[in-house]
C-alpha cells in the first residue's frame, strides 16, 4: 500500500492520502520541540541504544523531527529503514543490517552512521495513516528484549498522541479562521455593495415616531452618519409634490399595511443639487398582527436618471457624428433594406437619402463590389453574430475600401473606409520594415517620454531576439531598463539619459543582460527623430554585439597582467639570487666579527649594547634576504613527511622570546599523528610571519594570538580561499588575533608583494606574500577572514600524508661530542673579511687554520703537502678557480679529504652539484657564526649528510 521507490514514483490513493495527512500536521522542516526530543532520548535510554529518531516519511525523503546520536536531519527515502517500518503493522526489527539483503548496500550501513541494528514502530495518525516511525538504532547487531519492545511501542503511542493533538489543533484553528473569514467577507460585501449602489436601509418606529437611517441613507440626505430624525423631519427633505405623495404612502402603509415603491426628488440638507431617490417600504407586524414598524430601503438613483437624459443626448450626438464622418455608413434590417445611412454613403452610391431609405442594399451596390463577396460576408456576420472585416475594390476608379460589418439582433451595420492612399503608404512602410527587420544589428524605436522608467519601446526588429533572447513583442511596451543588470555601467546610463534630454545623438559601449541573465557587451548608437515642428518624438537605438571583441580585449589584458607578473617574479628571483651571495658575505662577516668582539669584552663592558644593536640589525637584514629568496622562489627546500604539531611547538618557542609580554600566545593542539610533507623551516617561517603581523595589528596594550591545528574536509560546497583544492581532508592550521582587523579593500591585496599598511619601520610588505608563496608551493591554500575592529583569522590548508615507516631498532645511537683540538683546516675564501672571520671562529674552536685568499694557492699547498690538512673549508663563488673547480681538483689529489663548502646563496642546483662531487656539508654564509663550527664537527664525527645545506633545511 505504501510502496517505497525512487523520487518521482506515481503513488496509489492510500499513499496520496498518507502524504496529505502528513502535510496537515505541518511538522516537516520545523524546529526541534522539547516534548518530541524528550521521547526520543527516553527511547534511546530504555532500549540502551546510542541512536534514536522520530522520522517522518515524505514523498522522496525521510525527515527527522527529533534525533539522538544520528547527527542527520534527513535522508533519501529509498535508503531509509523507516520506509519499511510504515508498511509494518506494529513493529519492525532488523537485527543485523549487513546480513539483511534489503539494507546491506545502504549508505547508512556501509558508511556513517554505520547502522547495524534497527527497530521501529509505525506512527499511525488520523484513522491509521502511518506518517513515520519511532525508531532506535545501534552500530552493533542485536535484538530488543520483550520489555524493550513493549516500552518502544508505548513511547510510539505517546508520539502518536502528540501528532494527533497537533493535527486536531490545526484543523480546529483552520475551521475557526474560515468561519470568521466568511462572516467578515459577507458583511464587507454587503457594506461595499450598499456603498457602491448608494442603497441603504431605514426603519420607522410607529410608537416612538422615530426614523432610523443607515449611514448610506443619512449620506443621501446630506446628514452625518448615525442621524435619526422624526417622521415629519424625514418627510421635510422631499420637495413638493413628492413630499405629499410619500406622506400618503407612509400613512397607507401604517394603517393598512400597503407597501410602497416611489421615485422621488429630495433636497439634501447640505444644499447643492437636488437628488432623485427610490424609496420602498413595507409594514412589520408583531405576534398579534399589529403593525409596529415600517421598514424599507432608500437608493440614490440620481445617476440613473441622469444617464437616461445622457443617453438621449448621445443618440442625437451620434446621429450628428455619423453625418460628419467622411466614411460611408449604412444600417440595414434583417430584410436587407436600408434603415439608416449618412451623407458619405449617399455620395458613394450617388442616390439621395430619400431613395436610399427602404431600398434593398444589394440593389444599391455596383457590380464590382458585389463580385468581391460582399453579400457573403454580410450573411456570415449575421449568422455568427460576430464582426467581420474585409477589403473591397471599386474597379472603376481603383478605390480600395476597408469594410467592417457589425451584426445587430435584427440587422447589420456597414462601415466602409477609403484606404487607397493608406495602402500605398503601407506598402512603402512594409518595404522599410522588411529592411530593418533583416538587419544584423538590433534596432529598437522608443517614444520620447523621459519620465521614469524611461522611453517606451514601440518597435524592435528580429535581431533583438538573437542578441538578448527577448522576442520583439515581449520588449514592446516596456523600457530599455529590462536589458540592464548589476554590471551595467551607471555613468554611461546617465550620459545616455543626458543625451535623450538634450535630443542629441549619442554613442557608447555598455553591458546589457540577456533574457537568461547572461551579460553581454553592446555598441549602442542613439539617434533622435524630430517632427516637422522640431520636437523630438522618438529615439532610434541601434545595438551591435561586441562581446567577443570585449572578451578578447579582457583576455589580452589578463595575459599582459600575467606576463608582467611573471616578468616581475623573474626579476625579483634574479635580483634575489644576485644579491644573496655578496650581501650574505657581508652579513656573515658582520655577525662573525660581532660575536668575536663580544667574546673579547668583559661582561660589564659598555660596548656590548652597541654590538647587540648591530647583531639585531644584521639578523633583520638576514631575515629580509631569506624572505626575498623565498618570494623569488630562489630558496632551496627540503620537504619531508613529518608531524605538524612539533613544528608549531618549535615556532611557538621562538615566538615566546620575540613577542612582548602583553601579547598572549595560545596553542590549540591538534592530533599528534597528523603528518604533512613540508619543509619545516618554511612552515615555521609562515607561522612566524603571520604571528608577527598579528602582533603589529594589536594596540599598545597588547592582545591575544591563537595558533591552532586540526583537520578539515573540503567538498565542492565547502571551499577555501586561494587556488582551488581537490575535495578531501586537509591539515588545517589557523592563526587568530584580536587586533584591528583588515578592510575589505586591503584583503584583496594583502598577498601582493611589497603591499603593506604598516609603517616603514614595521614591515617590508613581503611577509604575507612569502607565506602565500610557501603555502601554494606546498600544494595548499591560504586565506583570511577579517573585518575592521573584529580581528583576523588566517586559514592554511595543506595536503595530509601518511607517517613515514621507521624501525626504532635501526636508529643509530647518537654520536658523542667530537673535539676539534688540533684539527688542521685548509680554509679558502676570496673575501678577506670573511676569511679572517672563519679563521677566527675555527681557531676559537681549537682548529689549526691555514687560510688562503686564492683557490690556486690552496691547491698548490695540497700538491706540495697532501697530508697537511684534515679538512677543507672553501667558498663557492671565487674569481678564477671557483669552489666547484677547487673541489674537483682536490678530490683527484686527496679523495678522502672531507670538504665543507660555504656560499652566500645555496640553491637546489648548487646543493645537487656539490653532492655529486662529494661535498660533505654546506654552510650559508649569513649563518657562519651559528653553523660553521657545528658543520665541521659533524663532518669529523661522520654524521653530516653529503651535500646537505647545514641547518637551513634541518
CATH 3.30.450.20 domain residues, the chain: 198-306, 325-423, 438-545
Tell which CATH classification among 3.30.450.20, 3.40.50.300, 3.40.50.150, 3.90.1150.10 matches the domain 198-306: 3.30.450.20
For residue 594, the model assigns a pLDDT of 72
What are the grid coordinates assigned to 928, written together?
657562519
Cβ proximity of 257 and 291 under 8 Å: yes
DSSP states of 299-354: EE-HHHHHHHHHHHHHHHHHHHHHHH-SS-EEEEETTSBEEEE-HHHHHHHT--HH
Q: In which element (H, E) is residue 75 found?
A: strand 74-76
In order of 569, 595, 639, 749, 831, the CA distances from 753 in angstroms are 10, 34, 24, 9, 33
Please tell me the distance from the alpha carbon of residue 931 to that of residue 26, in angstroms, as a whole number. 74
3-state DSSP: the chain helix, strand, coil percent, rounded to 5?
45, 25, 35
Question: Which residues fall within 8 angstroms of residue 349, CB to CB, at 6 or more apart?
Answer: 356, 364, 365
DSSP states of 723-748: SPPPSEEEEEEEEEE-SS---HHHHT
What are the grid coordinates assigned to 741, written together?
582587523
Q: How many CA atoms does the CB half-sphere of 69 hold within 13 Å? A: 20
Q: Which of 75-84, 438-447, 569-578 has the highest average model confidence (pLDDT)?
A: 75-84
Residue 680 CB coordination number (10 Å): 18
Please tell me the distance from the alpha carbon of residue 642 to that of residue 649, in angstroms, as a whole number. 13
CATH architecture of 325-423: 2-Layer Sandwich (3.30)
DSSP states of 574-612: HHHHHHHHHHHHHHHHHHHHHHHHHHHS-TT-TTHHHHH
pLDDT digits (tens, 9 = 90+) for 690-705: 998 889 888 888 899 9
pLDDT digits (tens, 9 = 90+) for 883-912: 899 999 999 989 989 999 988 777 777 888
Alpha helices in 762-882 (DSSP H): 767-777, 832-844, 855-864
In order of 225, 243, 265, the CA distances from 235 in angstroms are 18, 6, 11
For residue 4, the model assigns a pLDDT of 46
Share of the chain above pLDDT 90, in %: 32
Cβ proximity of 822 and 712 under 8 Å: no
Please tell me the distance from the alpha carbon of residue 818 to that of residue 815, in angstroms, as a whole number. 8
- Summarize the confidence of residues 464-485 as an average pLDDT: 88
Using the predicted structure, report yes or no on whether residue 778 has a pLDDT greater than 60. yes
For residue 561, the model assigns a pLDDT of 65
- Fold for the domain defined by 438-545: Beta-Lactamase (3.30.450)
Using the predicted structure, report yes or no on whether residue 560 has a pLDDT greater than 70. yes
Question: Which residues fall within 8 angstroms of residue 200, CB to CB, at 6 or more apart?
Answer: 194, 213, 214, 215, 216, 217, 218, 219, 220, 297, 298, 299
pLDDT digits (tens, 9 = 90+) for 161-177: 888 888 888 887 777 77
What are the grid coordinates assigned to 40, written together?
526520543
Among 24-38, 590-604, 629-643, 843-857, which stretch is predicted with the lowest mean pLDDT?
629-643
Alpha helices in 407-462 (DSSP H): 420-437
CATH 3.40.50.2300 domain residues, the chain: 819-949
In order of 566, 573, 743, the CA distances from 561 in angstroms are 8, 18, 24
Cβ proximity of 461 and 443 under 8 Å: yes
pLDDT digits (tens, 9 = 90+) for 90-148: 899 999 999 999 999 999 999 999 999 999 999 998 778 999 999 999 999 999 999 99
Q: Does domain 819-949 have CATH number 3.40.50.300?
A: no
Cβ proximity of 770 and 627 under 8 Å: yes
For residue 818, the model assigns a pLDDT of 64
What are the grid coordinates assigned to 639, written together?
620537504
- Summarize the confidence of residues 371-398 as an average pLDDT: 77
Please tell me the distance from the alpha carbon of residue 337 to that of residue 319, in angstroms, as a whole number. 19
Please tell me the distance from the alpha carbon of residue 780 to that of residue 776, in angstroms, as a whole number. 5
Using the predicted structure, report yes or no on whether residue 395 has a pLDDT greater than 60. no
Cβ proximity of 74 and 64 under 8 Å: yes
Measured over the CA atoms of residue 540, residue 545, residue 547 and residue 550, the dihedral's sign is negative
Q: Does domain 13-173 have CATH number 3.30.450.40?
A: yes
CATH 3.30.565.10 domain residues, the chain: 637-799
What are the grid coordinates assigned to 532, written together?
516637422
For residue 127, the model assigns a pLDDT of 77
Please tell me the distance from the alpha carbon of residue 837 to that of residue 465, in angstroms, as a whole number. 81
* Mean of all residue pLDDT scores within the chain: 83
Cβ proximity of 598 and 611 under 8 Å: yes
Task: Classify residue 64 as exposed, middle or buried by CB count within 10 Å of its CB (0-12, 13-18, 19+).
Answer: buried
Cβ proximity of 848 and 822 under 8 Å: yes
Please tell me the distance from the alpha carbon of residue 314 to that of residue 309, in angstroms, as a whole number. 9
Pairing of strands 260-266, 275-285: antiparallel
Residue 499 CB coordination number (10 Å): 17
Please state whether the peptide bond connecting residue 113 to the residue before it is cis, i.e. omega within 30 degrees of 0: yes
Please tell me the distance from the alpha carbon of residue 709 to that of residue 678, in angstroms, as a whole number. 15
Q: Of 631, 519, 528, which is closest to residue 580 (Cα–Cα)? A: 631
For residue 120, the model assigns a pLDDT of 95
Please tell me the distance from the alpha carbon of residue 36 to that of residue 162, in angstroms, as a whole number. 8
| pTM of the shown model | 0.34
For residue 754, the model assigns a pLDDT of 66
pLDDT digits (tens, 9 = 90+) for 614-628: 766 666 666 666 656
Share of the chain above pLDDT 70, in %: 82
The CATH code for residues 637-799 is 3.30.565.10
For residue 210, the model assigns a pLDDT of 92
**How confident is residue 5, by pLDDT bands cut at 50, 70 and 90?**
very low
**How confident is residue 191, by pLDDT bands cut at 50, 70 and 90?**
low
Measured over the CA atoms of residue 35, residue 40, residue 45 and residue 47, the dihedral's sign is positive
pLDDT digits (tens, 9 = 90+) for 834-862: 888 888 889 988 999 999 999 999 999 99
**Residue whose entry in the numeric block shows the C-alpha cell 526588429:** 461
DSSP states of 881-930: S-HHHHHHHHHHH-TT--EEEEES---HHHHHHHHHHT--EEEEGGGHHH
Among 23-27, 60-64, 613-617, which stretch is predicted with the lowest mean pLDDT?
613-617
What are the grid coordinates assigned to 44, written together?
534511546
Cβ proximity of 294 and 300 under 8 Å: no
Among 294-308, 604-618, 713-727, 822-836, which stretch is predicted with the lowest mean pLDDT?
713-727
Q: In which element (H, E) is residue 621 found?
A: helix 608-631
**446: DSSP letter:** E
Residue 230 CB coordination number (10 Å): 13
Using the predicted structure, report yes or no on whether residue 193 has a pLDDT greater than 70. no
Amino acid at each position: 500500500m505504501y510502496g517505497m521507490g525512487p523520487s518521482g514514483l506515481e503513488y496509489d490513493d492510500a499513499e496520496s492520502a498518507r502524504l496529505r495527512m502528513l502535510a496537515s500536521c505541518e511538522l516537516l522542516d520545523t524546529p526541534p520541540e522539547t516534548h518530541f526530543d524528550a521521547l526520543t532520548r527516553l527511547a534511546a535510554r530504555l532500549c540502551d541504544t546510542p541512536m534514536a529518531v522520530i522520522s517522518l516519511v515524505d514523498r522522496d525523503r525521510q525527515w527527522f523531527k527529533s534525533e539522538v546520536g544520528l547527527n542527520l536531519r534527513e535522508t533519501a527515502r529509498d535508503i531509509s529503514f523507516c520506509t519499511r517500518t510504515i508498511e509494518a503493522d506494529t513493529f519492525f526489527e532488523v537485527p543485523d543490517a549487513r546480513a539483511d539483503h534489503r539494507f546491506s548496500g545502504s549508505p547508512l550501513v556501509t558508511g556513517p552512521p554505520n547502522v547495524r541494528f534497527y527497530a521501529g514502530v509505525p506512527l499511525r495518525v488520523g484513522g491509521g495513516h502511518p506518517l513515520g516511525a519511532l525508531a532506535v538504532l545501534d552500530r552493533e547487531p542485536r535484538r530488543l528484549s520483550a520489555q524493550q519492545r513493549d516500552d518502544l511501542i508505548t513511547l510510539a503511542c505517546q508520539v502518536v498522541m502528540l501528532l494527533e493533538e497537533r493535527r486536531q489543533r490545526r484543523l480546529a484553528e483552520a475551521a475557526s479562521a474560515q468561519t470568521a473569514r466568511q462572516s467578515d467577507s459577507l458583511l464587507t460585501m454587503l457594506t461595499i455593495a450598499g456603498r457602491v449602489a448608494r442603497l441603504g436601509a431605514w426603519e420607522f418606529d410607529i410608537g416612538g415616531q422615530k426614523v432610523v437611517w443607515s449611514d448610506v441613507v443619512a449620506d443621501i440626505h446630506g446628514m452625518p452618519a448615525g442621524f435619526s430624525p422624526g417622521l415629519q423631519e424625514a418627510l421635510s427633505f422631499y420637495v413638493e409634490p413628492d413630499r405629499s405623495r410619500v406622506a400618503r404612502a407612509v400613512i397607507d402603509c401604517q394603517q393598512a399595511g400597503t407597501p410602497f415603491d416611489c421615485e422621488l426628488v429630495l433636497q439634501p440638507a447640505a444644499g447643492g443639487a437636488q437628488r432623485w431617490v427610490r424609496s420602498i417600504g413595507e409594514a412589520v407586524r408583531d405576534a398579534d398582527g399589529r403593525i409596529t414598524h415600517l421598514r424599507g430601503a432608500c437608493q440614490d438613483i440620481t445617476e440613473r436618471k441622469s444617464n437616461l437624459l445622457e443617453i438621449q443626448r448621445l443618440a442625437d450626438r451620434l446621429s450628428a457624428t455619423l453625418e460628419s464622418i467622411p466614411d460611408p455608413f449604412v444600417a440595414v434590417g434583417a430584410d436587407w433594406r436600408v434603415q439608416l445611412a449618412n451623407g458619405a454613403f449617399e455620395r458613394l452610391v450617388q442616390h439621395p437619402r430619400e431613395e436610399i431609405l427602404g431600398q434593398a442594399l444589394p440593389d444599391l451596390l455596383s457590380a464590382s463590389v458585389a463580385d468581391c463577396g460582399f453579400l457573403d460576408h454580410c450573411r456570415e456576420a449575421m449568422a455568427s453574430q460576430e464582426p467581420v472585416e474585409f477589403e473591397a475594390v471599386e474597379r472603376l476608379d481603383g478605390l480600395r475600401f476597408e469594410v467592417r460589418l457589425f451584426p445587430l439582433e435584427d440587422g447589420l451595420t456597414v462601415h466602409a473606409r477609403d484606404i487607397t492612399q493608406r495602402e500605398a503608404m503601407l506598402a512603402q512602410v512594409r518595404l522599410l520594415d522588411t529592411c530593418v527587420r533583416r538587419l544584423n544589428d538590433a534596432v529598437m524605436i522608443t517614444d520620447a517620454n523621459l519620465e521614469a522608467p524611461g522611453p517606451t519601446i514601440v518597435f524592435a526588429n528580429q535581431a533583438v531576439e538573437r542578441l538578448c533572447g527577448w522576442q520583439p513583442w515581449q520588449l514592446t511596451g516596456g523600457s530599455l531598463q529590462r536589458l540592464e543588470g548589476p554590471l551595467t555601467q551607471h555613468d554611461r546610463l546617465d550620459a545616455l539619459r543626458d543625451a535623450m534630454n538634450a535630443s542629441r545623438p549619442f554613442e557608447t559601449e555598455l553591458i546589457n543582460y540577456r533574457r537568461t541573465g547572461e551579460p553581454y557587451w553592446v555598441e549602442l548608437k542613439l539617434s533622435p527623430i524630430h517632427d516637422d515642428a522640431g520636437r523630438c518624438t522618438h529615439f532610434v537605438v541601434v545595438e551591435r554585439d561586441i562581446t567577443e571583441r570585449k572578451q578578447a580585449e579582457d583576455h589580452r589584458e589578463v595575459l599582459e597582467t600575467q606576463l608582467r607578473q611573471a616578468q616581475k617574479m623573474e626579476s625579483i628571483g634574479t635580483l634575489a639570487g644576485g644579491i644573496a651571495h655578496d650581501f650574505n658575505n657581508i652579513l656573515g662577516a658582520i655577525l662573525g666579527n660581532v660575536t668575536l668582539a663580544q667574546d673579547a669584552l668583559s661582561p660589564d663592558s659598555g660596548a656590548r649594547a652597541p654590538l647587540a644593536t648591530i647583531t639585531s640589525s644584521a639578523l633583520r637584514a638576514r631575515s629580509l634576504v631569506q624572505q626575498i629568496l623565498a618570494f623569488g622562489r630562489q630558496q632551496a627546500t627540503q620537504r619531508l613527511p613529518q608531524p605538524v604539531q612539533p613544528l608549531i611547538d618549535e615556532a611557538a618557542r621562538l615566538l615566546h622570546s620575540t613577542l612582548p609580554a602583553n601579547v598572549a600566545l595560545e596553542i590549540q593542539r591538534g592530533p599528534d599523528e597528523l603528518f604533512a610533507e613540508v619543509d619545516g623551516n618554511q612552515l615555521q617561517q609562515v607561522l612566524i610571519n603571520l604571528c608577527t603581523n598579528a602582533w603589529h595589528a594589536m594596540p599598545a596594550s597588547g592582545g591575544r594570538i591563537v595558533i591552532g591545528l586540526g583537520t578539515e574536509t573540503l567538498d565542492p560546497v565547502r571551499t577555501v580561499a586561494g587556488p582551488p583544492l581537490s575535495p578531501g581532508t586537509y591539515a588545517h592550521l589557523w592563526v587568530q588575533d584580536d587586533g584591528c582587523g583588515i578592510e575589505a579593500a586591503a584583503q584583496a591585496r594583502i598577498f601582493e608583494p611589497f603591499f603593506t599598511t604598516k609603517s616603514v619601520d614595521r614591515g617590508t610588505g613581503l611577509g604575507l606574500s612569502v607565506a602565500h608563496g610557501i603555502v601554494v608551493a606546498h600544494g595548499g591554500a591560504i586565506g583570511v577572514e577579517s573585518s575592521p575592529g573584529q580581528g583576523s583569522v588566517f586559514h592554511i590548508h595543506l595536503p595530509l600524508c601518511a607517517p613515514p615507516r621507521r624501525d626504532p631498532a635501526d636508529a643509530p645511537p647518537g654520536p658523542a661530542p667530537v673535539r676539534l683540538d688540533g684539527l688542521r683546516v685548509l680554509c679558502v675564501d676570496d673575501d678577506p673579511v670573511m676569511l679572517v672571520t672563519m679563521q677566527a671562529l675555527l681557531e676559537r674552536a681549537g682548529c689549526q687554520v691555514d687560510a688562503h685568499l686564492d683557490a690556486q694557492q690552496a691547491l698548490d699547498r695540497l700538491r706540495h703537502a697532501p697530508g697537511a690538512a684534515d679538512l677543507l673549508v672553501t667558498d663557492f663563488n671565487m674569481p678564477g678557480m671557483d669552489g666547484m673547480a677547487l673541489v674537483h681538483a682536490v678530490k683527484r689529489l686527496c679523495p678522502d679529504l672531507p670538504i665543507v663548502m660555504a656560499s652566500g646563496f645555496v640553491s637546489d642546483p648548487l646543493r645537487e652539484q656539490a653532492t655529486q662531487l662529494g661535498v660533505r656539508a654546506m654552510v650559508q654564509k649569513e649563518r657562519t657564526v651559528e653553523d660553521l663550527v657545528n658543520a665541521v664537527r659533524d663532518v669529523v664525527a661522520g654524521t653530516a649528510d653529503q651535500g646537505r645545506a647545514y641547518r637551513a633545511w634541518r
